[in-house]
Amino acid sequence: MQTPGNIGKPIFLWPATSSDLREAAIQLGYYGYVAELFDSPAALLAAEARNPTAALVDCGGGDCLSEADKEALAALSGRVPLACMSSSGTIDARLGAVRMGCQAYFTRPLDMASLLDTLDRLTAPPQAEAGKVLIIDDSPALAAFYAAHLNEAGFVTQVVNDPLKTLEALNEHPPELILLDMNMPGASGEEIAEVIRQQDAYLSIPIVFLSAESDVGRQREAMSLGGDEFLHKPIEPEHLISAVKSRVIRYRALRALMVRDSLTGLLNHTSFKERLRAETARAKRQGKPLAVALLDIDLFKKVNDTYGHPAGDRVIKSLSRLLKQRLRGADVIGRYGGEEFAVALPETSIEGALRVLNNIRESFAAIVQHAGEKTFQVSLSAGVAEFGAGGDGESLIQAADEALYVAKHEGRNQVKASV
């Protein structure tokens, strides 16, 4: 399995003599990062060609670096995100770090969850695309015209010239906006809009009607059937791009609130099941494997009772981060409920899924969790099932849940396959 984003890239740590950084290097390794310790800022700067994700410097008790060290770190900070750690939280120490180019500052003891959150923020890649647009228009020439201009603006487009194939396109590649022609043979735009809006999964997707229709009454009727905007043909490319962009931005903001778990940022229960239905339909259509797993944090109630609910929340976040960093971008990850997570692995056999999840299980068990000055470790159990020709998303979840029960019953901290 490949890891996404910055995982696998080195994180530079200095100095190598810092016990805090040596422990941080071990913990970062569990999340898939490659931590490298250096003896001097000059050596760290000389290794910049290896394209590190970030650099973390232990400043000791505060402003204790030599001028040469500061100059080398300042030079590095112009090209690599730089974070500092110190025993001092004074304004003078923090100002010194800012003047050296540090974008983040930590005081001892180093909170690994905060460090990982900061790495996520500092190294987040730019948005790769402006949005996903489905164009439904019976005119291949017009559809290609809209798609060309939207593609040039960074959008990813899918074109459907036969309105009767709308549901197939929606199921296979759910868009963030639909451009819908009103006048088409076989089904009108208004009728297609009604069909789309009858399905809960597509209720929130913006629909922008395209038509030369000048009858205001018909325009209003079309909007009442679920449209969000009406663009009159011929449409200037700049107007089209502006209208699509504003709607996609609003959709993404609302969708994030609707489909994401607030603590972890993963898909919530309902959204995961929607995505799973789409993945099972694709697996059936393409004849490719699909594995689904349910993961549960072992003895989680004991964690909350012993260390408090804030510590329990940090444990949940640590597992969600591990899943996001160890799994592929194509994999579907959700918080299924409480301390339980669900994962769908497209084009993955049950043997492949077992290998991946066992690696995640081993890393999670080795992570040192923090609750104030106290530290502890937690394990997880998982059950895995593979999609069969006659199955569906619900049966997959049930089979994975039964395998999870076996893993719990046989002693926890293990991954079991459905039989």
**Domain assignment present for 300:** yes
Contact call for residues 353 and 28 (beta carbons, < 8 A): no
Side-chain-side CA neighbours of 239 within 13 Å: the count stands at 10
198 vs 1 pLDDT, higher one: 198
Residue 50 sits at the vertex; the CA angle it makes with 49 and 54, to the nearest 5 degrees, is 105
Using 50, 70 and 90 to split pLDDT, how confident is the model at 3? very low
**Domain assignment present for 3:** no
Using 50, 70 and 90 to split pLDDT, how confident is the model at 249? confident
**Domain assignment present for 149:** yes
Contact call for residues 167 and 191 (beta carbons, < 8 A): no
* In a shared domain, residues 204 and 323: no
Domain termination residue (choose one: 123, 150, 180): 123
pLDDT for the residue numbered 166 = 94
pLDDT for the residue numbered 240 = 93
pLDDT for the residue numbered 110 = 85
**Three-state secondary structure string covering 81-129:** CEEEEECCCCHHHHHHHHHCCCCEEEECCCCHHHHHHHHHHHHCCCCCC
User: Residue 387, class by beta-carbon neighbours within 10 Å (0-12 exposed, 13-18 middle, 19+ buried)?
Assistant: buried
Q: Is the pLDDT of residue 143 over 60?
A: yes
* In a shared domain, residues 278 and 400: yes
| Structure confidence by residue, pLDDT tens digits, 323-348 | 998 899 899 999 999 999 999 999 99
pLDDT for the residue numbered 200 = 81
Provide the domain count of the chain.
3
pLDDT for the residue numbered 384 = 97
Q: Among positive and negative, which fits the CA dihedral 73, 74, 75, 77?
A: positive
**Domain assignment present for 2:** no
* In a shared domain, residues 368 and 298: yes
| Structure confidence by residue, pLDDT tens digits, 357-390 | 999 999 999 999 988 888 999 999 999 999 975 6
pTM: 0.64
**Domain assignment present for 1:** no
Domain termination residue (choose one: 233, 259, 285): 259
**Domain assignment present for 105:** yes
List C-alpha distances in Å: 266 to 114, 313, 320, 321, 334: 18, 14, 7, 9, 5
pLDDT for the residue numbered 381 = 98
pLDDT for the residue numbered 2 = 36
* In a shared domain, residues 287 and 308: yes
CA distance 312 to 302: 9
**166-170, 217-221, 381-385: lowest mean pLDDT where?**
217-221
Domain termination residue (choose one: 232, 259, 286): 259
| Structure confidence by residue, pLDDT tens digits, 73-127 | 888 888 899 999 999 889 988 998 999 899 999 998 888 888 888 887 777 665 5
Calculate what percentage of the chain has a pLDDT beyond 90: 56
**Domain assignment present for 66:** yes
CA distance 357 to 343: 10
Quote the domain boundaries for residue 177.
Answer: 131-259
* In a shared domain, residues 161 and 227: yes
* In a shared domain, residues 181 and 221: yes
* In a shared domain, residues 350 and 222: no
Q: Is the pLDDT of residue 318 over 50?
A: yes
pLDDT for the residue numbered 4 = 41
| Residues 6 or more apart in contact with residue 126 via CB below 8 angstroms | none
* In a shared domain, residues 310 and 403: yes
Q: Is the pLDDT of residue 69 over 60?
A: yes
pLDDT for the residue numbered 8 = 65
Can you tell me whether residue 243 is helix, strand or coil?
A: helix
* In a shared domain, residues 91 and 178: no
Question: Domain with 54 in it: what CATH number?
Answer: 3.40.50.2300
Q: Is the pLDDT of residue 128 over 90?
A: no
Residue 387: in which H helix or E strand, if any?
none
Closest CA to 205 of 164, 231, 171, 232: 171
Q: What is the CA radius of gyration of the chain?
A: 26
Question: Domain with 299 in it: what CATH number?
Answer: 3.30.70.270
**Domain assignment present for 238:** yes
* In a shared domain, residues 308 and 234: no
* In a shared domain, residues 49 and 160: no
* In a shared domain, residues 109 and 214: no
Largest CA distance in the chain: 77
CA distance 75 to 52: 14
